[in-house]
Chain A
Amino acid sequence: MTASSPLPSYVPILVLGAIAAGFAILTILFSHLIGRPRSTPAKSATYECGMPPVGTAHARFPVKFYLVCVIFILFDVDAAFLYPWALVFRELGIFGLIEMALFVCILGGGFAYAWKTGALDW
């Protein structure tokens, strides 16, 4: 039904994006205008259960988060291939199934390595 549509299919998305962003900006602006800023040093200090804050929050954090993000990226790429494959796998038939199964098995090897080295344990 979009083939006959006179409008490119991405235009409504731009419209929605404009509406969403406009809503967010207007809300923040509006509340900024009517809110009453009465700041004190104690209030604008970092919240740390009422104690005076110690050090900066931008200290280093565990490399674990990096590892899980790496594994995510690589499987994200996997998903990026699975989606187009799902569209045409019937035309490809058994050839396509084997092709994808091989792909997934190789990735599975990497996954098993990550599992074994404990990158998935917290």
Chain B
Amino acid sequence: MAETILFYALAITAFSAAFAVVLQKSALGSAFALIVVLCSLSAIYGLLGSPILATLQIVIYAGAVMVLFLFVIMLLDVRREKGGGGPRSFVPLALLFAGLLVLQVGAVLVGSELVPQSAPFDGSAKAFARRLFSQDYVYVFEATSVLIVAALAGALALARRRR
């Protein structure tokens, strides 16, 4: 019961904060709204039985990625930008597209098969780690490191001042 109330409270928070991300005029406001979304999603992961993902979400997203966003917003002094929403003529088109998207993905999700909750679920850190480092994910895991290095090299090369 308490779990249900908590879930809906978090869901409403996440959803309204997501709206704020899109509607905020200043990039900094968007960033803080996004942090709220990330934290409530992390709590929802906890409710869904994955404490490790809940914490990793905070470590990687709220702790690192959003700090990077804040840094860039401060670095470029985005407050000077006037760019708000797009031209008015775009709005109906975008909403139409979003509506179609909701319909389509919604159809898939509603039609999706949810297994009844009889099966025991072990979302503990150990179970997670066992699966992550099993043979099935070896290549993905190693590819991740290549991805990270590529991103690092790319970011360094792009951001350094050309001389």
Contact = CB atoms under 8 A, between A and B. Distances in A.
Q: Does A touch B (CB under 8 Å) in the complex? A: yes
B23 interface: no
B101 interface: no
A69 to B, nearest CB: 5
B3 to A, nearest CB: 8
B64 A113 contact: no
A117 B142 contact: no
A103 interface: yes
A84 B129 contact: yes
A81 B56 CA distance: 10
11 contacts: A60-B76, A63-B161, A69-B67, A70-B68, A80-B56, A88-B126, A102-B145, A106-B142, A106-B149, A110-B148, A119-B156
Interface residues of A, number: 42
Interface of A: 8-10, 58-61, 63, 65-67, 69-74, 76-81, 84-85, 87-88, 91-92, 96, 99, 102-104, 106-107, 109-110, 113-114, 117, 119
- Which applies to chain A's interface (DSSP): helix, strand, loop or mixed? helix
B57 to A, nearest CB: 10
A88 to B, nearest CB: 4
A110 B60 contact: no
B29 interface: no
Contacts of B155: 67, 70
